Amino acid sequence: MKHILLCCGGGFSSSLLVTKMQEVAKQYGEDAYHIWAIGVGEVERHLEHLRKADVLLVAPQVRYLLPDFQKLAKKEGLQLPIDMIQPMHYGTCNGQAVLTFADELINKKI
């Protein structure tokens, strides 16, 4: 099972994208993916989210936090890829494109 974590300002705007990604992920089997979203404040307060994730995808509106999240992951000894979701894919809730992007990042890590 692949664990995909999305992060946005409050965790709410990315929830629709999570739903779209889950719809696409069902074609790979019910247990192929676990996809969830949190707000930026949850990342540092609840590090278990990062520890459970195979990839962290950051919403475009909080892309300025990418370096902070990368430093935090390194400090915690985590090897997960962290990157920004393309604004067009985020804005249109393109679940297929974001799921494909997440898979590419996870596969690069392996």
Query: Model confidence over 84-106: pLDDT tens digits?
Result: 999 999 999 999 999 999 999 99
**66 token code pair:** 């990418």
CATH number for the domain spanning 31: value is: 3.40.50.2300
Query: Active-site residue among 4, 6, 7, 8?
Result: 8
Mean pLDDT value across the chain:
91
Q: Is 8 an active-site residue?
A: yes
Average pLDDT estimate for 8-24: 87
Q: Note the pTM of the prediction, 2 decimals.
A: 0.92
Residue 37's domain comprises: 2-109
For residue 11, what pLDDT band results from cuts at 50, 70 and 90? low
pLDDT, residue 109, reads: 63
**106 token code pair:** 């996870």
Total number of domains constituting the chain: 1
pLDDT, residue 45, reads: 79
Burial class (CB in 10 A: 0-12, 13-18, 19+), 98: buried
Q: How far apart are the first and last CA of the chain?
A: 14
